[in-house]
Amino acid sequence: MLSEVTAMILAGGLGTRLRPVVADLPKVMAPVVGKPFLTRLLDQIASAGIRKVVLCTGYRADLVEKILGSAYGPLQLIYSAEETPLGTAGALALAAHSSGAINILAMNGDSYCHADLPALWRFHQEHRAVATLQLAQVSDTSRFGRVQLDADDRITRFDEKSSAIGPGLINAGIYCLSAQALANVAPNQSVSLEREIFPALIGHDLFGYSHGGKFLDIGTPDSYQQAEAFFGDSIERPA
């Protein structure tokens, strides 16, 4: 079912907070147990049956393409490089415009969730959603902000980090998007999914999928140090 879906990975971040531990590498290329973090996401995508991936690059885009090339296992890799920072929605709109993608499974390039991607996509289709966010349960949402759902799994509110203390559901950085979700974003417009697109979709078929496993964000040196233990030996491998 996912073979006709295009995966897009937001891989343009500067990784400023990680500079002390990864030097001048893009954040997505930070090594984890001997291989770039980005390849962990590619392994997960390949195992789900997706075969086309657009990498939305920015900082050191040339290095990402030099290391990964045009294929990874069974995956075709296409590059969509931002000349100026476009935000998460702007980067995806640029990539969708250049690739012609309609059905998109997008991922943040600096986080990982042990998610069942085929089940997530089925949920998205069955609910005829404009956008579906993979959610993760964490013990303290204060670093990420909290996502609130109603009884029908519609997202009703995003709580700011300052008010989101204690356990709850967070945005896990994996999104199923219909063409409608990015329809009003111009290819070179700077727009944020998290701050502009998703809040505007509340009440308009925006859903959260709360079935999933462990979550890791490598955005800080402390969380990056947890990556080796997080992955261990249970990594999805390309088929």
Residues marked as catalytic: 161
Dihedral class, residue 33 (left if φ above 0, else alpha if ψ from -120 to 50, else beta): left
Alpha helix (H) ranges present in the chain? 19-22, 37-47, 61-68, 87-99, 117-126, 198-201, 221-225, 227-231
How far is 149 from 14, CA to CA, in rounded Å?
32
Helix (H) or strand (E) holding 176: strand 168-177
Largest CA distance in the chain: 47
d(CA 80, CA 178): 19
